[in-house]
Each structure stands twice: as structure tokens, then as C-alpha cells.
Amino acid sequence: MAGAKEIRTKIKSIKSTQKITKAMEMVAASKMRKAQERMRAARPYATKIRNVISHLAHAHTEYRSPGLVEREIKRVGLIVVSTDRGLCGGLNTNLFKAAIVAMQQWRNQGIEIDVCTIGTKAFQFFRRLKGNIVAHVSHLGDAPRFEDVLGPVKVMADAFAEGRVDAIHLVYNEFVNTMSQKPKIEQLVPVTAEVKESAPVHRWDYIYEPDPKDLIELLLRRYGESVVYQALVENVACEMASRMVAMKSATDNAGALIDELQLIYNKARQASITQELAEIVGGAAAV
Amino acid sequence: MAMTLHVDIVSAEKELFSGPVEMVTAPGELGELGILPRHSQLLTRLKPGQVRVRLQGGDEQLFYVSGGLLEVQPNLVTILSDTAERAKDLDEAAALSAKQRAEQVIADSRSEFEFARAKVELAEAIAQLQTIAKMRKQRKSS
């Protein structure tokens, strides 16, 4: 019954794999709920600061920030938000694919690209492919803090302020629902027409306390940070959802495999019993 | 009934308050600000301190902000509160460490980004995923 024994060991090992994937699925599900809550909680700030920026774009301010004016693009900064860990289906792959498509377009127009990576997966990917990585953070965990995005955003914002890059784009996964996440590329600065929207056109300006330049720059910086933070939280939610789905199908697959193997095992077992019986009967007949 | 203005107090990690109030008091950088409806447009930085809102009917609510920005539109006040106190050198340090982390690990020479290789790798990964999906479908139908 050697064959049967082998099958039995195999079934056992698949069962333990199934246990692991099942556990991962449940962990991801509970983490996803929390991540979604965080995503929702971060949303008001992002919306509000977007409103303020849109007001600002319509004000006839005495100081025009470079962050509000489109300029000729020679070099773009790309912030890529990815996960730290794998086992989450095609989430990162799809994201990188979207990034590559955009990068190729820029390259064709002769635009250089600086990459800033958030999360190990993006870092590994762009390093392997010799992308020009200027900043990197990873291991932010499942509950990223606002402070975590300050570093990479500052590197990029400084590059923009000094004119080393002429636009900053952000690539991340948008959380549509549990079953679907969509890679998204968004222009951070200069602030695009979408954010500016329509508003009354009569002339007005703010009263500034103390100084318009500082305030507007600070506001734009906060805007950048909040968008990146929002992307980061959203990406965590995507990661968990994607992992949950991937692990669920892994568990289902393991189940199907076990069923199949069980069938084969039963057949093998029966065959060996039949054979033994035949041998006994044959032996008895011979005597 | 007294006039009201709409106030939103948000921090990056959550919404603290949103609703109509009669008056809001905030710790502006150049001094305490009291804002009533129809205030003219104003933009200012906030110091760490208390934001007080007086609700309709005279009840007061207090919030602590650790700095941030305040925007006033005639009937709308937005307070963008920072989550933690922000020192300038903190940003600087974070930026530096992000740069270093990138540089540390990139030892190999920087050359052109290899689009061809990127495409091949991605195509492989996607093909794998598609194969898995196909196998799953087959198994289900069989």
C-alpha cells in the first residue's frame, strides 16, 4: 500500500497549507475592516484641504505659488505606493504595469523620471530595473501614521521647489470595493484643473497672517502630504482586500485538491484490498 | 435667530467637528482670533492651543489643536489641524533618512531604466496569474 501512504502524506500536507491560508484570509479580513475605517477617517481632511486649495486657485493672490502654475516638463517625480509584503494577488503587478505605461510615455517624450518608493515591493521592482530611486520608506505597518509620509514627500517637494522636477505624480491602488482595486495615477503638483474646479470669478484675496508666501507653500505642502497619506491608507486597505481574496481562492483550491486526492486514495486503497483478496482466494484454490 | 457659519475641524487622521456654529475662536499665530459669520477671507497658521466653538443656543465645545491651518470663507471656516506637533527639523530628518535608505541599497550603477525587462517581468507575472485563474475555472467546470 505504498501508493496509498504517499497520497495520505500529501493530503496531510495540503491540509496544513489550507489551514495557513485560511488563517491568513481571516486575518486579512479583520485587518481590512480596520484599514477601511482608517481610510474613511482620513477622507475629510483630504476633501477639506482640496476645497481650500480650490479656493486658493481662484483667489487673486498677491503671490503665485509655482505649485499652482503648469510649467514645461523636463523631469517628473513619481511617488509609487506599494505594499511591503506579497501574497496579495496581482495588486502590485497591476500597479507597476500602470506605472510602466506612464513612464514609457514620458520617456518617449524625452522626460526624465525620478522615483520615490513607499513599500518594499516597489523598491525591489524599481531597483532591479535600475530606476532612479531618490527616496524610499518601507515597513510602515498596517496603520501608517501621518508622520511616515513626511520624509518622501519632503524629498519630492524640495526637488519641485528647486526646479529639479517639474511635476509630481502619485501612483497607488484605489479601493473600489473588496473585490476590485484599481491602479491610479494622479498628478500632485502643479495642482491640476480637476482640483481647481469651477467657482465664482469675482476678484478677492485672502487676509494673510503673517505672510502669503509661507502660508501658501505650507498649505500646498500639507496638501501633498495629505494626498500621499490618503493613498497610503487606501493602499493598505487594497492590500488586505486583495490578500483576503487571494487567500480565499487558495483555500478553495486546496479544498478541491484534497477532494481529488481523497478520491484517488480511496481507489488505491480499494484496489489493494481487492488484490489481497484475490491473492488469498488464489492461494486457497492452489491448496 | 442668530446667524451661523459652518465650521469643519479636521485632522489628517479623523474629522473632529462639522456643523453650524455662532462663533469660533482659534489660536492664530499672531494672536487669538474670534470669527463670526461674514468674516472676510483669511488664511493663517495656528499655534498649538484650544479651538472653541459656540454652538447655536450658546453651548460651547472645546478642541485641542497642535498647530495647523485656518481658512476662512465668508460662511465657512476650515481648520486643518496637524496631528502632532511639527518641528521643522523633524521633516528634515525624515527626508534625509528616506534619501539615505534609497541610496544605501542602490549600490549598482544607475543606468537607463530597463523598460524591456520591466515589461517581460510584468508580462510573466500577469501570465502566471491568468494561468492560475484559468486553471481554477477549468477545475470548477470539470
pLDDT at A199 over 90: no
Of the given ranges (A151-160, A172-181, B14-23, B75-84), which has the lowest mean pLDDT?
Answer: B75-84
pLDDT tens profile A45-81: 888 888 888 888 777 777 777 888 888 888 999 999 9
Instruction: Confirm or reject contact between B85 and chain A (CB < 8 A).
Output: no
**Mean pLDDT for chain A?**
87
CA distance A73 to chain B (A): 19
> CB distance B80–A45 less than 8 Å?
yes
**Mean pLDDT for chain B?**
79
Q: Is residue A238 flagged as an active site residue?
A: no
pTM across the whole model:
0.83
pLDDT band at B85 (very low <50, low <70, confident <90, very high): low
- Look at residue B44 and give its three-state secondary structure: strand
pLDDT of A92 reads 93
pLDDT at B109 over 50: no
The percentage of chain B sitting over the pLDDT mark of 70, rounded to a whole number, equals 82
The predicted model gives A34-55 an average pLDDT of 87
In chain B, what are the domains?
5-87 (2.60.15.10), 90-141 (1.20.5)
The percentage of chain A sitting over the pLDDT mark of 70, rounded to a whole number, equals 95
Q: Are A35 and A233 in contact (CB under 8 A)?
A: yes
Q: Are A81 and A169 in contact (CB under 8 A)?
A: no
> What whole-number distance in Å separates Cα of residue A83 and Cα of residue A243?
11
pLDDT at A123 over 60: yes
Instruction: Confirm or reject contact between B41 and chain A (CB < 8 A).
Output: yes
Of these residues, A28, A35, A88, A170, which one is catalytic? A88
The nearest alpha carbon in chain B to A96 belongs to: B122
CB-CB neighbors (< 8 A) of A208 in chain B:
42-44
ipTM surpasses cut 0.85: no
pLDDT tens profile A79-116: 999 999 888 888 999 999 999 999 999 989 989 899 99
CB-CB neighbors (< 8 A) of A87 in chain B:
none
Higher pLDDT, A2 or A74: A74
> What whole-number distance in Å separates Cα of residue A20 and Cα of residue A28?
12
pLDDT of A19 reads 95
> CB distance B41–A146 less than 8 Å?
no
DSSP one-letter code for A264: H
pLDDT of A236 reads 93
CB-CB neighbors (< 8 A) of A53 in chain B:
none
Q: How far from A70 is each of A56, A160, A191, CA to CA, in Å?
A: 15, 12, 8
Exposed, middle or buried, A190 (CB in 10 Å: 0-12/13-18/19+)?
buried
CB-CB neighbors (< 8 A) of A48 in chain B:
8, 10, 78, 80
pLDDT tens profile B27-42: 888 888 899 998 888 8
The residues near A122 (Cβ < 8 Å, ≥ 6 apart) are A80, A81, A82, A92, A95, A96
Beta bridge partners of A170: A79, A186
In chain B, which ranges are E strands?
5-11, 14-28, 31-35, 42-55, 60-73, 76-81
